[in-house]
Amino acid sequence: MAGGSGTRLWPLSRQGRPKQVLKLIGDQTMFEIAVGRLAPLFPPERIFILASGDLADELSRQAPQLPREAFIVEPEGRGTAPAIGLGAVYLRRRDPNAIMACLTADHYIADPARFRDVLTAAAQVAAQGYLVTLGIPPTFPATGFGYVERGAPIGAFDGIEAYRALKFKEKPSQPRLRPSFSRMACTVGTAACSSGASIASWPNSSGSCRRHMQN
């Protein structure tokens, strides 16, 4: 997903030059780093880019190894969930049995190899019918992120543990976050920040979108 406007970094980023197309770390843009991070795991024909119309050409220039049809242009920016739905519909037409990983183009990931291992394990979990999200253990109660509380274990996949999700808290305020954060932190490893990455098959991703649209 590379369609965001990068408002958190304004004025360094702008609507026409959001953070994913900026060189914030080294001599590559965040988008170039994100695509390169996936290259050892996926061939170019299995990497697809969700982007707004005004960014598609720039992103295509930054990733010439990807075919032009890999760029899925949103007709209008409506946020994360509709973008994921659009990607799911597009991929279903190509391969109804595909496992889709929805990843962001502007995250800094210190250990790309470990990330790929976790992504591979997540795909195995998704193949069993689960909608999967990747969690990051929080170090302080930041209100700019969503939180997920983990429940019972599902099992280990290539040595990586997967758990059921008990509840989600989307960008809670400090008064709401602090008490629950403290309780979760006392039980080692039960809380995680939602990374924004999700992995699912077509039936699970489309079913989730339909349920939320009805609600």
**Beta partners for residue 141, in sequence order:** none
CB 31 within 8 A of CB 18: no
**Rounded distance between C-alpha atoms, residue 38 and residue 60, angstroms:** 16
Looking up tokens 């758990």 gives 163
The yes-or-no verdict on residue 30 having pLDDT over 70 is yes
Mean of pLDDT over the chain: 81
User: What's the mean pLDDT in 205-212?
Assistant: 55
∠ CA 25-26-27, nearest 5°, is 125
Cis, peptide link before residue 11, omega less than 30° from 0: yes
As to burial, measured by CB atoms within 10 angstroms (0-12 exposed, 13-18 middle, 19+ buried), residue 199 is: buried
**Rounded distance between C-alpha atoms, residue 80 and residue 66, angstroms:** 22
| Alpha helix stretches (DSSP H) within 131-201 | 174-186
Whole-prediction pTM: 0.81
Q: How confident is the model at residue 5 (pLDDT cuts 50, 70, 90)?
A: low
Q: How confident is the model at residue 122 (pLDDT cuts 50, 70, 90)?
A: very high
